[in-house]
C-alpha cells in the first residue's frame, strides 16, 4: 500500500492532529529526513521542523507551545483534499472545491517574482502557484477556532 497524504483542514494531516507532538509524528511517519530549528525574533516564535522530503511534506511544531504541531507544508502530487487530488486541479477548480466545502477565497496575491498565493483564511490554508501550477500548500489550525479540541495522549 502506498502513502497517500491527506489534508484534513482545521484538524491535521493524515491521522496526525494539530496539537500532537514530534513523538506522535515519528510513530506515524518514521524518522524525518531532516530536522531544523527556526527562530523568529520579531514575532517571538520558535518552531521545530520535521522535513519528510522523500514523502513531500514538512511539519512545524510550536516550541513555545509544548512542541505541538501547528503548520503543515506539502508538495506531494498525490495529496488529497476533500477526496480530490488537489495538485491536479486548476486554480479555478481548487477555489470551487473549497467553496463547495464551505471555505471562500479570502485573499490572492501575485508576487513580483512570479509566485501567486491564494488564501482561505477560515480554513487556515494558503496555496502557492508557480507558472500557473500548484506548487505548495501550507495549512494550519486557525487561532481561536472553537471546533478544535486537543486531547493529549
Tens-digit pLDDT profile for the chain (153 aa)? 467 899 999 999 999 999 999 999 999 999 999 999 988 777 677 889 999 999 999 999 988 888 889 999 999 999 999 999 999 999 999 999 999 999 999 999 988 877 899 999 999 999 999 988 999 999 998 765 444 443 333
User: Within its chain, how far is the Cα of 48 from the centroid?
Assistant: 15
Residue in 4, 138, 152 with CA at minimum distance from that of residue 70: 138
> Which residues of 9-83 form beta strands (DSSP E)?
12-13, 16-17, 34-40, 45-52, 57-62, 68-74, 80-81
Which residues lie across from 107 on neighbouring strands? 119
Q: Give the chain's radius of gyration (CA, Å).
A: 15
Query: Using CA atoms, how far apart are residues 59 and 65, in angstroms rounded to an integer?
Result: 15
Q: Tell me, what's the pLDDT at 41? A: 76
Query: Using CA atoms, how far apart are residues 48 and 37, in angstroms rounded to an integer?
Result: 5
Q: Tell me, what's the pLDDT at 145? A: 42
Phi-psi region of 131 (alpha: psi -120 to 50; beta: other; left: phi over 0): left
Q: Tell me, what's the pLDDT at 144? A: 55
Helix (H) or strand (E) holding 98: helix 91-100
Amino acid at each position: 500500500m502506498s502513502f497517500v497524504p491527506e489534508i484534513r483542514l482545521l484538524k491535521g494531516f493524515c491521522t496526525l492532529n494539530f496539537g500532537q507532538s514530534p513523538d506522535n509524528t515519528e510513530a506515524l511517519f518514521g524518522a524525518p529526513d531532516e530536522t531544523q530549528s527556526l527562530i523568529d525574533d520579531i514575532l517571538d516564535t520558535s518552531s521545530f521542523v520535521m522535513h519528510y522530503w522523500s514523502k513531500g511534506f514538512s511539519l512545524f511544531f510550536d516550541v513555545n507551545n509544548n512542541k505541538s504541531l501547528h503548520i503543515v507544508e506539502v508538495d506531494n502530487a498525490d495529496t488529497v483534499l476533500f477526496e480530490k487530488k488537489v495538485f491536479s486541479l486548476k486554480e479555478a477548480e481548487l477555489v470551487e472545491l473549497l467553496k463547495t466545502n464551505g471555505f471562500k477565497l479570502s485573499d490572492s496575491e501575485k508576487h513580483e517574482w512570479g509566485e501567486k498565493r491564494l488564501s482561505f483564511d477560515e480554513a487556515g490554508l494558503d496555496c502557492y502557484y508557480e507558472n500557473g501550477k500548484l506548487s505548495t500548500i501550507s495549512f494550519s489550525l486557525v487561532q481561536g477556532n472553537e471546533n478544535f479540541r486537543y486531547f493529549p495522549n
